[in-house]
Amino acid sequence: MSAPPAPALLVPEAPQKAESIFHRNLATFAANRLAMASAVVVVLFVLMAVLAPFVAPHDPNETDLFRRMQPPAWLPGGEWSYALGCDALGRDILSRIIYGARISIFIGTAVILVATSIGILAGLASGYLRGWVDVVISRIVDILLGFPYLIFAIGLMAMMGPGLWNIILALAYKEWVIPCRVVRGETLVTRELEYVEAARALGASHWHIMLREILPNILSPVIVVSTIRMAHVIILEASLSFLGLGVQPPTASWGSMVADGRAFILEAWWVSTFPGLAILLLVLAINVASQGLRDAFDPRFQE
Amino acid sequence: MSQPLLDVRGLRTVFETRAGTVCAVDGVDVSVQRGECLGIVGESGSGKSVTFASVMGLVKSPGRIEAGTILLDGCDLRGLTPKQMRAVRGKDIAMTMQDALTALNPALTVGEQIAEVFDAHDDTLPRRGAARARAIRDKSAEMLGLVGIPSAESRLRQYPHEFSGGMRQRIMIAIALACRPKLLIADEPTTALDVTIQAQVLELITEIRARLGMSVVLITHDLGVVAEHCDRVMVMYAGQVVEEGPTAEVIAQPQHPYTRGLLASIPRPALRGQPIQPIEGQVPDLIGLPPQCRFYSRCPLHRDACLAPVAMRSAGPNRRVRCILSGEPVE
Amino acid sequence: MKTLLKVDSLSKHYEGRRGLIGRLTGAPHTVVRAVNDVSFSVERGEILGLIGESGCGKSTLGRAILRLHEPTAGRVHFDGSEVTALDAPALKALRRRMQIIFQDPYASLNPRRTVAQIVGLPLRLHGLAASEDEARAITARICERVGLKANQLDRYPHQFSGGQRQRIGIARALVSNPEFIVCDEPVSALDVSIQAQIIALLLELKREMGLTYLFISHDISVIGYLADRVAVMYLGEIVEMGPVEAILARPRHPYTQSLMSAVPEVEASGRRARIRLTGDLPSPLHPPAGCKFHTRCPLALDICRTTAPLRETVGEGHIAACHRLGEDISLLEDGAA
């Protein structure tokens, strides 16, 4: 054999399409039917919240004292235009649940977005730069973790007074440490990998390495954790509202609806039960969908 | 020729993956005589490790053995129940793995791991009690001494991570040899080791082989190792055996273009100043292989006749080649 | 100037952390001297091989030269400039000219970037392309040169085999047109037949682009084939260095001799006499006193246990550090120990 032919001629074809890891994971998620079904449920809730004015049969705050404690449609005394019955002030429970979804979903999403953004920045800085930055941030995280979540939230709300943004702040103040810890851990591992070393060898700056090399590779577990936490936050908001510290009447929140019905739970069980079921259904769907997300996207859980 | 110790015929092992069925071992025949050292040479995808994992009954879902007979000293291993196979594994046939650190249980002491083998297979020990424990301990220390680990008694109580890489490999060999198996399968025993330690471990295997009259299968990608330690060699490519024969002959006069290509392309001091002739291209994808010579796309001698399945041909006494350009067809 | 790289008494030490008790009692730090007082130079256009077993510090040395690990002591000069004294912007500019190819083709490429982005990164970092199109063209050209196809540029690393990924790493190292490349075990993780392809590629590229290599490997056969000169390292120090032919023909240091004899050779049919070293590599945390090799050396004398040997010249451009060089003993000729 004479001089070997140029290597370019003999390297076999790569597969037809460029397939990023993200697309591959998306395909895995789509194949998980239970997760997809749950994701659909979540999407339905979101749509319900967004399109509330069009979907709700009645005004959620419209009181009608003739309809106080009216039972749901399938029980004697009920009517289908007020399908799930009415509460102590004659307001339609179904409409209030639909509008209540807005509160839960909005607050849940807002808290998670704020917490994740802060958490990513803090975690990246702490994990990559190390040194005193890491020491300071880690101590703050440790201190915040020491405070009991709900009690501190209650205290904050008592100090700040009610209001939508106050609730978001009160819940986010501690929530950010969770993504921060995940990001920090992943950053500590990723910064030792060879492709990060390669970027340094090429002359990349710290910013480039943190945002373009490390961050894309650690987003998966962060997103998974955040979606799981969303469910927690929704329950926390419901708890705050249940205690009267959340959104104030007459705005409907599932938690406050449950509280309202407590006094007469034996006679008019529907007033507390349906909002409770709404919480259950949404949280369950989010949990199952995020498990599916984790199985598909989190590299730590992949074979 | 007397009956071989290990006689594998027509072995076919496949793995079901999402992308398709991977035929990792396709129609492989292996025979190992008593007391001989057989070298198996191949690269990634050659099927060399899967072949012997199949022999040991270690292939698990999504893999399965689809066809073939595996006879160890006349006994059909495929026909055994899992319980019977467990009795064979470790006692009559034993295997060492490439990476001793992950193959050894980090949570158990070395002594406990050697003891497991005696516990499972050795019927000559006292039934139970302190006498049994003492007998096992003595035998374990003896094994460690056999593989050249000093102060064996005290080292039995140590954990794998307290040993160096070379010593861990020796410990694996000690575990494998505890019940004096008839056949030792050493899967890449030296790949993870430094060159000076490699030499020690290979010397050890050869010494023990001579002392115990054991047969050894040495799976490796290093032709140099095979040249120095193996009586016969089998070259595998893409799930098939492509050449086999006495080591000295195969190396001096390789018949298959792949073997020739491998030997010609290993960079070594003797070739200084001359350009290397690498084998171009890559191992083909094992899913959906067309029925033709698997080396076709990389072979400098390929022709149209190679586009049909190629059977093993005889190229001399004890020599077989899977290439239509060499040897004679076997009846 | 013929000398491209000059390394002077380079050291890289890692200090262990002391616990609370250690700090209170003033116990000394445990120090790992990964690289200790290493000096050598590399001429333009040559391949200097760096050989040694695990823990000898060869990878650390390669990275310390590029200041990927900051050296603890010593100096590195590249083409006249003192690398170790440069500030960050000047160092970044120098990175264009000194590059590195890594051992692990799976870990050295960012799994979430396409080939085009990975190989094109140096162009972006150093502003070497006037536009996106030009960057793409340069990237495509270098990828084709290393054996990849233009239609593979938008694929992700996991869609390639080990050998192909190593080619991507090579393309990345070459795209900024460097002069000097540290090849850190570039073929050790590859199959034998692919190793040959990559070595052939590296040699072609060296000829075409006028490159200089520091080729780190534990594989003596590969170094024996490709290097012009070789340095043998043991526990952080160079024990022997010189032209490859001289060292292959007549290694002077006992460690080099035992390394040479340990390599299984395809040509040798049947076993040959071999130098047997006793014991394992000492831990870098507790290196032996005196000559670091004395614990395993068949020729060790009392002086070896107490005093570290100095480097002596034993031939044209050939140095070694051993107390018994004068006796010119060859373990290889005497046969197996």
pLDDT in tens, B282-296: 888 888 888 888 998
- Predicted structure pTM score: 0.83
Whether the predicted pLDDT of A134 surpasses 80: yes
Q: Give the C-alpha separation, A221 to A209, whole Å.
A: 19
Note whether C12 and C72 are within 8 A (CB).
yes
Identify the closest residue of chain A to B18 by CA–CA distance: A28
Q: Is B277 on the interface with A (CB under 8 A)?
A: yes
Lowest mean pLDDT among A67-76, A122-131, C232-241: A67-76
Whether the predicted pLDDT of C333 surpasses 70: no
Provide the pLDDT for residue B322.
Answer: 92
Q: Is A131 on the interface with B (CB under 8 A)?
A: no
The set of residues, in sequence order, having a beta carbon less than 8 Å from that of B290 and lying 6+ positions away, is: B307
A4 and B282 within 8 Å at the Cβ level: the answer is no
Q: Is B268 on the interface with C (CB under 8 A)?
A: yes
Note whether B233 and B247 are within 8 A (CB).
yes
Q: Give the C-alpha separation, A243 to C153, whole Å.
A: 58
Provide the pLDDT for residue C180.
Answer: 95
Q: Is A204 on the interface with C (CB under 8 A)?
A: yes
C107 and A193 within 8 Å at the Cβ level: the answer is yes
Q: Which of B21, B23, B26, B24 is nearest to B10 (CA)?
A: B26
Segment A211-222, tens digit of pLDDT:
999 998 888 889
Band (pLDDT 50/70/90 cuts) for residue A300 is low
Q: What angle do CA B78, B82, B87 make, to 5 degrees?
A: 95
Residues linked to residue B233 through DSSP beta bridges, in sequence order: B39, B245
Whether the predicted pLDDT of A11 surpasses 70: no
E-only strand ranges, C44-137: 47-51, 73-78, 81-82, 98-101
Phi, psi of C48 (to 5 degrees): -100, 120
Band (pLDDT 50/70/90 cuts) for residue C336 is very low
Q: Give the C-alpha separation, A72 to A275, whole Å.
A: 13
Whether the predicted pLDDT of C187 surpasses 50: yes
Using a pLDDT cut of 90, give the percent of chain B over it: 24
Provide the pLDDT for residue B153.
Answer: 84
Provide the pLDDT for residue A2.
Answer: 38
Mutate to test the interface with C, among A16, A202, A209 (most CBs of C within 10 A): A202
A203 and C125 within 8 Å at the Cβ level: the answer is yes
Q: Is B19 on the interface with C (CB under 8 A)?
A: no
Number of cross-chain residue pairs from A and C with Cβ atoms under 8 Å apart = 94
Which residues in chain B have Cβ-Cβ distances shorter than 8 Å to A7? 280
Burial class (CB within 10 angstroms; exposed 0-12, middle 13-18, buried 19+) of A22: middle
Whose structure tokens read 């590779």?
A217
Q: Give the C-alpha separation, B166 to C55, whole Å.
A: 14
Segment A228-251, tens digit of pLDDT:
899 889 888 888 888 888 887 778
Whether the predicted pLDDT of B170 surpasses 50: yes
Provide the pLDDT for residue B20.
Answer: 84
Segment B172-221, tens digit of pLDDT:
888 888 888 899 999 988 877 788 888 888 888 888 888 888 999 999 88
Record the tokens describing residue C296, joined without a space. Answer: 């395993």
Whose structure tokens read 């193959």?
B103
Over residues C22-28, mean pLDDT? 71
Whether the predicted pLDDT of B40 surpasses 50: yes
Whether the predicted pLDDT of B74 surpasses 50: yes
Provide the pLDDT for residue B279.
Answer: 87
Whether the predicted pLDDT of A36 surpasses 70: yes
Q: What angle do CA B265, B269, B275 make, to 5 degrees?
A: 45
Band (pLDDT 50/70/90 cuts) for residue A78 is confident
Mutate to test the interface with B, among C159, C165, C192 (most CBs of B within 10 A): C192
Segment B266-285, tens digit of pLDDT:
888 888 888 888 888 888 88
Averaged pLDDT of chain B? 87
Whether the predicted pLDDT of A174 surpasses 60: yes
Reduced 3-state DSSP string for chain C: CCEEEEEEEEEEEEECCCCHHHHHHCCCCCEEEEEEEEEEEEECCCEEEEECCCCCCHHHHHHHHCCCCCCCEEEEEECCEEHHHCCHHHHHHHHCCEEEECCCCCCCCCCCCCHHHHHHHHHHHHCCCCCHHHHHHHHHHHHHHCCCCHHHCCCCHHHCCHHHHHHHHHHHHHCCCCCEEEEECCCCCCCHHHHHHHHHHHHHHHHHHCCEEEEEECCHHHHHHHCCEEEEEECCEEEEEEEHHHHHHCCCCHHHHHHHHHCCCCCCCCCCCCCCCCCCCCCCCCCCCCCCCCCCCCCCCHHHHHCCCCEEEEECCEEEECCCHHHCCCHHHHCCC
Provide the pLDDT for residue A17.
Answer: 66
Phi, psi of B217 (to 5 degrees): -110, 120
Provide the pLDDT for residue C145.
Answer: 93
The chains found to touch C (3+ Cβ pairs under 8 angstroms) are A, B
Provide the pLDDT for residue A6.
Answer: 34
Which residues in chain A have Cβ-Cβ distances shorter than 8 Å to C92? 203
- Nearest CB neighbour to C125, from listed A6, A202, A216: A202
C68 and A201 within 8 Å at the Cβ level: the answer is yes
B280 and A1 within 8 Å at the Cβ level: the answer is no
Task: Give all strands of the β-sheet with C81-82 in edge-to-edge order.
Answer: C31-43, C3-15, C73-78, C81-82
Chain A window 1-60: which residues touch B at a Cβ cutoff of 8 Å? 1, 3-5, 7, 10-12
Q: Is A19 on the interface with C (CB under 8 A)?
A: yes
Whose structure tokens read 């510290």?
A245
Using a pLDDT cut of 90, give the percent of chain A over it: 35
Identify the closest residue of chain B to C198 by CA–CA distance: B278
Provide the pLDDT for residue A40.
Answer: 94
Over residues A168-197, mean pLDDT? 91
Q: Give the C-alpha separation, A139 to A289, whole Å.
A: 33
C93: three-class secondary structure by DSSP? helix
Segment C254-292, tens digit of pLDDT:
999 888 888 877 765 555 667 777 777 787 778 888 888
B267 and C226 within 8 Å at the Cβ level: the answer is yes
CA distance C9 to chain B (A): 27
- Nearest CB neighbour to B276, from listed C199, C262, C265: C199
Provide the pLDDT for residue C22.
Answer: 67
Record the tokens describing residue C221, joined without a space. Answer: 């056969």
CA distance A284 to chain C (A): 32
CA distance A157 to chain B (A): 50
The set of residues, in sequence order, having a beta carbon less than 8 Å from that of A199 and lying 6+ positions away, is: A208, A209, A213, C110, C121
Q: Which of C146, C151, C159 is nearest to C112 (CA)?
A: C159
B281 and A11 within 8 Å at the Cβ level: the answer is yes
A200 and C126 within 8 Å at the Cβ level: the answer is no
Identify the closest residue of chain C to B225 by CA–CA distance: C264
Note whether A150 and A236 are within 8 A (CB).
yes
E-only strand ranges, B109-195: 183-187
B199 and C276 within 8 Å at the Cβ level: the answer is yes
Provide the pLDDT for residue A137.
Answer: 94
Note whether A115 and A172 are within 8 A (CB).
yes
Q: Give the C-alpha separation, A85 to A69, whole Å.
A: 7
Segment B111-166, tens digit of pLDDT:
899 888 888 888 788 888 888 888 888 888 888 888 888 888 888 888 988 888 78
Burial class (CB within 10 angstroms; exposed 0-12, middle 13-18, buried 19+) of B109: middle
Band (pLDDT 50/70/90 cuts) for residue A77 is confident
Mutate to test the interface with C, among A11, A22, A193, A200 (most CBs of C within 10 A): A11
Q: Which of B248, B260, B259, B244 is nearest to B314 (CA)?
A: B244
Which residues in chain C have Cβ-Cβ distances shorter than 8 Å to B210? none
The set of residues, in sequence order, having a beta carbon less than 8 Å from that of B295 and lying 6+ positions away, is: B237, B238, B242, B256, B257, B258, B302
pLDDT higher at A19 or B116:
B116
Identify the closest residue of chain C to B198 by CA–CA distance: C262
Q: Is B261 on the interface with C (CB under 8 A)?
A: yes
Segment C143-165, tens digit of pLDDT:
999 999 888 899 989 888 889 99
Instruction: Indicate the DSSP class of residue C83.
Output: G
Mutate to test the interface with C, among B169, B194, B218, B247 (most CBs of C within 10 A): B194
The set of residues, in sequence order, having a beta carbon less than 8 Å from that of B326 and lying 6+ positions away, is: B255, B256, B313, B315
User: How much is the ipTM here?
Assistant: 0.83
Whether the predicted pLDDT of A133 surpasses 90: yes
Note whether C280 and B166 are within 8 A (CB).
yes
CB neighbourhood size of B113 (10 A): 21
**Can the peptide bond before residue B290 be classed as cis, meaning omega within 30 degrees of 0?**
no
